[in-house]
């Protein structure tokens, strides 16, 4: 499938900033089932962009801008070709061992209720257990949206009724790790042609003999060819599309507009 992505991030500051430094995890990489056809990152001010990679193998762009800066717009435009792989990740750059992704973070710590839910939902062989767990989360939270982060960790979000896609993914991570399964967060796009207030988030778990497999609690299914995979991390913050610092006082407002649109299947 050919997928077009239009991702716009708008920062507004109540007072001009002297300097802004941002790490942008906004660029997908090629795998056996995902090919980046075109991709560009634009900034509406005089800024220096430096491209590289982080320790997880994510493509990153460091943005350095000198003020005074009252506003900053970051625009991502691109097209990606994807193939159906039943959620299995093939040909990705893996600089870290799977066991690292057993490590919990404050946002992916399972409390007693979440661990009990995982133990009850997951039964059978390793891959079947993960599919059952994914389906159980979707049954519990059928209305998951791509909205701004509310700052809730997995345990807190588990007690709510309408988590975001990133919160649902973090719940899956906490549950899988409580079962002894390495799991990691994925940030990217799900192409439905609609506008969203944030990129999509889902999870990947490691299955011995098979490798990394994607699971999306927002749908209860594995990601298919309608997904564009961008960045991974131990939790949502570790794979956030933008993260950084600013030198200056005053308040910050952030608006995000994301459209990922299927353009058709390649013959």
* Confidence at 155, pLDDT banded by 50, 70, 90: very high
Reduced to 3 states (helix: H, G, I; strand: E, B; else coil), residue 108 is helix
DSSP symbol at 254: E
Question: What is the predicted pLDDT for the residue at 195?
Answer: 84
Token pair in block for residue 50: 């430096």
**Mean pLDDT of all residues in the chain?**
94
DSSP calls for 116-166 = HHHHHH--SSHHHHHHHHHHHHHHH----B--------HHHHHTSSS-BHH
pLDDT single digits (tens) 65-89: 998 999 999 999 999 999 999 999 9
Rama region for 101: left / alpha / beta (φ>0; ψ in -120 to 50; rest): alpha
Exposed / middle / buried, residue 97 (Cβ in 10 Å: 0-12, 13-18, 19+) = exposed
Cα–Cα distance, 130 to 217 (Å, whole number): 11
Mean pLDDT of 9-38: 96
pLDDT for 151: 82
> What's CA 49's distance to the chain center, in Å?
22
User: What integer pLDDT is reported at residue 107 of this predicted model?
Assistant: 97
Predicted confidence at residue 147, as pLDDT, reads 86
HSE-up (13 A, CA, CB side) for residue 14: 5
Residue 122: predicted pLDDT: 84
pLDDT bracket for residue 266 (50, 70, 90) = low
Contacting residues for 267 by C-beta, under 8 A, at least 6 apart = none
- CA torsion angle for 104, 109, 113, 117 (degrees, to 10)? -40
Q: Could you give the domains of the chain?
A: 2-81+242-264 (2.60.40.2250), 85-239 (3.10.620.30)
Segment 211-227 shows an average pLDDT of 97
For residue 267, the model assigns a pLDDT of 56
Euclidean distance between CA atoms 189 and 198, whole angstroms: 9
């Amino acid at each position: 499938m050919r997928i077009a992505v239009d991702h716009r991030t708008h920062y507004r500051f109540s007072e001009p900033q002297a300097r802004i430094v941002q790490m942008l995890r906004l660029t997908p990489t090629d795998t056996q089932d995902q090919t980046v056809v075109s991709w560009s990152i634009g900034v509406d001010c005089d800024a220096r962009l430096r491209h590289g990679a982080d320790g997880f193998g994510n493509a990153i762009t460091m943005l350095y801008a000198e003020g005074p800066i009252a506003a900053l717009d970051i625009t991502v435009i691109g097209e990606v070709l994807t193939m159906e792989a039943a959620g299995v990740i093939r040909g990705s750059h893996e600089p870290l061992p799977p066991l690292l992704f057993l490590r919990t973070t404050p946002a992916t710590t399972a409390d007693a209720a979440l661990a009990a839910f995982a133990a009850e939902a997951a039964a059978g062989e390793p891959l079947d257990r993960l599919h059952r767990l994914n389906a159980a989360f979707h049954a519990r939270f059928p209305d998951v949206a791509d909205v701004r982060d509310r700052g809730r960790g997995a345990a807190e979000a588990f007690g709510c009724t309408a988590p975001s896609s990133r919160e649902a993914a973090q719940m899956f991570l906490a549950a899988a790790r409580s079962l002894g399964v390495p799991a990691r967060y994925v940030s990217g796009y799900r192409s439905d042609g609609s506008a969203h207030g944030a990129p999509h988030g889902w999870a990947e778990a490691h299955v011995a003999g098979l490798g990394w497999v994607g699971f999306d609690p927002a749908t209860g299914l594995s990601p298919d060819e309608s997904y564009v995979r961008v960045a991974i991390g131990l939790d949502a913050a570790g794979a956030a599309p933008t993260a950084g610092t600013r030198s200056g006082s005053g308040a910050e407002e952030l608006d995000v507009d994301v459209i990922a649109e299927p353009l058709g299947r390649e013959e």
